[in-house]
Structure 1
Amino acid sequence: MTSTHTSAAGSIAQDLIAQGLVSHCTIVPPYILEALATSGEPRVARHARESLRHDEQLRAARRTPTARPTGRRAPRGEDAAGAHGTGPHRTIFDAKGTQDTPGTQVRAEGGGPTGDVAVNEAYDGLGATWDLWSTAYSRDSLDGKGMPLLATVHYGRNYDNAFWDGSQMVFGDGDGVIFERFTKSVDVIGHELAHGVTEHTAGLLYQGQSGALNESVSDVFGVLVKQKALGQSAAEADWLVGADLLNASVKGRALRDMRNPGTAYDDPRLGTDPQPADMDHYVDTKDDNGGVHINSGIPNRAFVLAAEAIGGNAWEGAGAVWYAVLSGDGIRADCDFATFAGLTVAAAGSAHGDGSPQQEAVRSAWEQVGVLTAGVRPPSGGSGGTAPSPAPGQGGGAPSADAQVLLRRTGGFAGQVRERRMALGELSERDAKDWQHLLAAPTLERIAASTERTHPDAFVYSVVCDETGCDVTLQEPHLPEAIHSLFERTLAQDD
């Protein structure tokens, strides 16, 4: 069914977490686990129910700041030296069947293979992912600043998923009937870590079309990790996501087929792949954060069409265009399909020239999936393009440097109160820019409106800006990590 849903443009352009209201990204969508939970095979159904229950607990868990290890740059030549003479900093941990992370350290950067295949696959997959971002896009790890790459294997008992929690990768072992171990598929590792890149660049909110773009971007760069590791061109690639995860008993090829969405599997236990291939079949749903794993099939197919039309290695052609948009100033966290399509067309023009075959390939790809209309040209822009102005009521212009903002934090177990009144111009250049993006968008209002339950002893933040008319109160557990970090940095600067 066709949806009229569109996301309002606008939000923090740098360091906004990909999840919007949640920070828990899983490779296996909830609708697949829900289908397995009703399976007539007791073991399959039991593990699916346990995985579903655990995933829901993680999504609903009260948010606390995550302490990330300090980055350590590997000396030149130590391991996998990249474009800037540095290498990845990988650490693999073993949860040993528990749900505690990170677990026991079992392999560190530069250490040799162990006797545990899951440990070695995780280590190699992190390295292949780092290599793509470094050599193809000159990006130093997920945050561009040498962020350590952490992973925990053997998480839980027969846990049917893998996820990025905002600071590290976590891999289950699968039930052995439907799913194999989740370290087995390098594109799954690349997919989940790409969520980390999105957190530190566009920060696409994990809801509706922006959430589907978030998932699509992870699929795109996940398969590019695999293609680069295998030395495959766009024409040689299978464009399958998670092909190595499925047990031989499953009637299907993968979790998703980017070239042919909706055809990845048709299994009596998994059900039928629900992904649409074009906007005529866009799924309007409240499930799965507004269908983020379902409607991602549309931008996925657009990428494949563009990559195959451009030819050569997809990470050098269409991948470079997508990365320019993801990391550019034009994209905003509430970006919808049409805006993203326009940005990619503009980025292709900036890189290869207006009217170039590469730009026409990108434009045609979006037209074929029904996101852009043939003959209608999206607005052009510089590096990464420029997002169109938001519609009335969907966020206005950015506030000035003189705009006065009141940020207050109250609550907590001790009932502490901290506040800061400041002009945006007093802040660091980065934080001032993030505040301007945030206050120009409806993001804070949407988070406040979506909050249904309260959390005892949670911190509560109030934000008031007369220039933009913003006056909201937000609970800490419902804040995306990047917004929470911005608030805390702002309060700390007044200490």
Structure 2
Amino acid sequence: MATRNHHNVCYMVPPYLLNAIAESSNNEDPIRESARNALSLHKSCIGKREKRFTALTTPRGFNAAGNIAQHRSIVPDHMLQHIADCQDVDSTTRDCAKRDLEHIRNVHAKYQQAQGLRDESSDQKTLEATDKSSETTEKTYRAVYDAQNDEKEANLPGKLVRVEGQAATKDESVNEAYDNAGHVLSFYADIFNWKSIDNKNMHVVSSVHFGKNYENAFWDPEIAQMVYGDGHTFLTNFTGCVDVIGHELTHAVTEHTSPLDYNGQSGALNEHVSDAFGIMIKQRVENETADNADWLIGENCLMPGVKGVALRSMKAPGTAYDDPRFGKDPQPAHFKDYKMTQDDNGGVHLYSGIPNKAFYNASVAFGGYSWEKAGKIWWETMKSGQIPAKCTFVQFADVTVDKAEELFGDSGATIVRKAWDDVGVTRKSFP
């Protein structure tokens, strides 16, 4: 676990697991010290993450200073230029990149004219063409970089290794990051007609080989990219776990649907949504129905010899691992065990197990593939505009029940209400 500087990030490996490693006398001192360093760095980013989601609940298009926010959904010129000029990229992708490069330059010209930076008459034809199109590309571009074991986030993304349309490289981590990002993108496009992670074909950038023996993976919203460590003593293979990648990229989707404050119950729901969509993506790749899937998050991240099956279990929260070097999985599966805490932003990783179990309950009760009914309900919930930034479990549950009724009638609403009731998330009754 490498020490590094970083922005506000979401880690796949939760802080309570790092804390258990740091406190276990079964671990050697260097391992415990490394875990403590990772915990310290995690705590330092809490303020920025909270600021990020606070900003997302302000009127769209403006930042805290009231200025027009940077439009991050357009692929940067330099990446498009690289793809357009690259001879080992397939011709279709190369042609698309050339087209989109021309388009983005038209958008920039329009912006400059709006700011009084260009002569109107000289750009009139360009602007007329731009007005007829949207400020988005028509294709999502993936790019994978090699961080070359550099532990400074300021130096990301690193060395460009593979871009959209290029053939596989000799680096397995690069290929896994590229292919699994593709699985996530195809899931959102095919199942929910959602283009990339922002519905505007936002490019997906990943960096592999981050840090030295770094045992984590994360999505950094400030630099808008995925970052993967190689793992070491206990955890590894982050690029090979499509549910991990689905989880992290879904945090970006949440930013563009219903931003949930990363604290307390709303933060736990933020984590839960990433787990729910991450597990659906995994089940789709493996062609598993709800009743025959394992419902394990990060099952391929644990090194051989660790007493456990995954980082989390949605089917049975609290049972993912029990190892003297890790401690026992602390996730509760029922709201009766919910307690206010200052740790981990109010327990966002800990208490996500409660709505996770509810989603599992609903998916199995509906039968078939999880994304066909339960997933569709959760998706419509996130897009509904009815999820407040500081959403509680009960509020979220109520919206899912309403959406279930709209989509699948009274029987669907009954299934979803029972799924939440069974984990103790129920409406209050008054005499």
- Whether these two folds match at TM > 0.5 is yes
1:169-222 CA distances to partner (integer Å, 9 max, x unpaired)? 1111112x2101321211000000000001111100000000000000000001
Distance 1:155 1:57, change over 3 A: farther
Give the structure 2 partner of residue 28 of structure 1: 13
| Equivalent position to 1:171, from 208, 225, 228 | 228
Structure-to-structure mapping, 1:48-447, within 5 angstroms: 48-59=35-46, 68=72, 70-71=74-75, 88-98=140-150, 99=152, 100-166=155-221, 167-175=224-232, 177-353=233-409, 355-356=410-411, 358-373=412-427
Q: CA deviation at 1:372?
A: 1.5
- Could you tell me how far apart the structure 1 residues matched to 2:273 and 2:317 are? 15
| Structure 1 counterpart SS, 2:240 | coil
Q: CA deviation at 1:88?
A: 3.3
| Structure 2 counterpart SS, 1:183 | helix
- Could you tell me how far apart the structure 2 residues matched to 1:211 and 1:161 are? 20
Does the CA contact (< 8 Å) of 1:283 and 1:294 recur in 2? no
| Structure 2 counterpart SS, 1:338 | helix
Does the CA contact (< 8 Å) of 1:275 and 1:297 recur in 2? yes
Q: What is the alpha-carbon root mean square deviation over aligned residues? A: 2.8
Does the CA contact (< 8 Å) of 1:44 and 1:178 recur in 2? no
**Count of matched residue pairs:** 348
Give the structure 2 partner of residue 446 of structure 1: none
Q: CA deviation at 1:361?
A: 1.1
Whichever residue aligns with residue 178 of structure 1, its letter is: F
Q: Report the structure, 1 or 2, having the larger strand content.
A: 1
Q: TM-score, normalised by structure 1?
A: 0.66
Distance 1:345 1:264, change over 3 A: same
Q: Which has the higher contact order (CA 8 A, sep 6+)?
A: 1
Q: CA deviation at 1:327?
A: 1.1
- Could you tell me how far apart the structure 2 residues matched to 1:141 and 1:259 are? 28
Q: Report the structure, 1 or 2, having the larger helix content.
A: 2
1:468-489 CA distances to partner (integer Å, 9 max, x unpaired)? xxxxxxxxxxxxxxxxxxxxxx
Structure-to-structure mapping, 1:461-472, within 5 angstroms: none
Does the CA contact (< 8 Å) of 2:12 and 2:217 recur in 1? yes
Distance 1:86 1:131, change over 3 A: farther
- Could you tell me how far apart the structure 2 residues matched to 1:324 and 1:61 are? 28
Q: TM-score, normalised by structure 2?
A: 0.75
| Equivalent position to 1:38, from 13, 23, 26 | 23
Structure 2 gaps, min length 5: 1-6, 53-68, 84-89, 95-136
Distance 1:276 1:368, change over 3 A: same
Structure 1 gaps, min length 5: 1-21, 80-84, 378-495
Whichever residue aligns with residue 152 of structure 1, its letter is: S
